[in-house]
A and B are shown apart, each in its own frame.
Chain A
């Protein structure tokens, strides 16, 4: 069958030409950044071949840990969960050495099954907030300084830039950003979830929204938050070292002190 005039191009001399073509075709797409992560089965198989399940298990929470970077390919079905599982099991002597990675595949499976069950319900609070605040106490809009990476917090600003430029954020950084946006800035999780879906190459409505709800406490028994010591440890201190707010930032203090500052009403309830 000859090519129709409606068909989009399939032949390109290289990535530059493809980028130029797509800029013409999708002028409304947000942002100029192309990102370095390659799409496609060949690139996904190369990434899969590099997965080390044991190192993943011991280092995954660190920003420079042996994370797999498979999420965009899994999200778009370039790799199936079953293929990743079978491959990972073939790389270990004992199934237990793959348990952390298989647990994470389990989370993806869980979000997808829940999505099939609740559909657009992923956009609504699954449960009441456990923060002592009402939904109306949260702003509907995501502040510009967060999106533009100029809050003054070196960590949050770097994560915001990385998200926009690369379409990737380490899982731990996603959790810190989410907690900052929802609890320190008291923004409705939906506004921020839309921001992540715009940029993340692995942006999946179910995994993304339900994870935001987990942080916000509408899909967990308590809100997720962190302190600077935690962030400093898992980032190797790279942001805190250069941060003008070091020693006086919003994240300083013990967990109970931070909880009392962030959730004064919830703290009063539990004190009674």
Chain B
């Protein structure tokens, strides 16, 4: 057994939530965190070099270990290395996120935290057309509530 059991969970950071204060990093500020380049996705989408560079620059401002390969396998291996009991991450609507999460769950439980909400409304919206959605959603879009960003 790994004697380093201070971190019960590791954080998995993915490309849809690359900010230092994302919900998963916020929930586990001291836990080891990993980002893994998804080799299959890079190939399938033919991601251009400039996109790789942009994302890598984002990663350099995050407290994460950067690896590449099969994402689910690498996240599970990272959890093994740290003797963790589970994985924490932030939600993404991408189907691939769902697939990878299911794959990790074969080895470790995954806690998926919701993204910070834009619309503070618990119900469902009519998504058939944007105009319908916005008629229902617009008033909620003006209700801030988050802590004000300090930029100067």
Contact = CB atoms under 8 A, between A and B. Distances in A.
Nearest to B120: A82
Contact of B46 (A8, A43, A89, A198): A198
A42 B61 contact: yes
A205 B94 contact: yes
Given A109-B119, A117-B127, A87 B151 contact: yes
Interface in A217-237: none
A110 B130 contact: yes
Interface residues of B, number: 61
B75 to A, nearest CB: 12
A259 interface: no
A119 B48 contact: no
B142 A102 contact: yes
B48 A10 contact: no
A106 interface: yes
Contacts of B149: 45, 48, 83, 86-87
B21 to A, nearest CB: 8
B45 A22 contact: no
A23 B52 CA distance: 10
Interface in B18-59: 18-20, 22, 32, 37, 42-43, 45-58
Nearest to A107: B130
Given A28-B43, A86-B144, A35 B50 contact: yes
Nearest to B138: A106
A76 interface: yes
B61 A119 contact: no
Interface in B70-114: 74, 81-82, 90, 93-95, 98
8 contacts: A35-B50, A40-B60, A76-B18, A82-B146, A87-B149, A198-B46, A198-B47, A201-B54
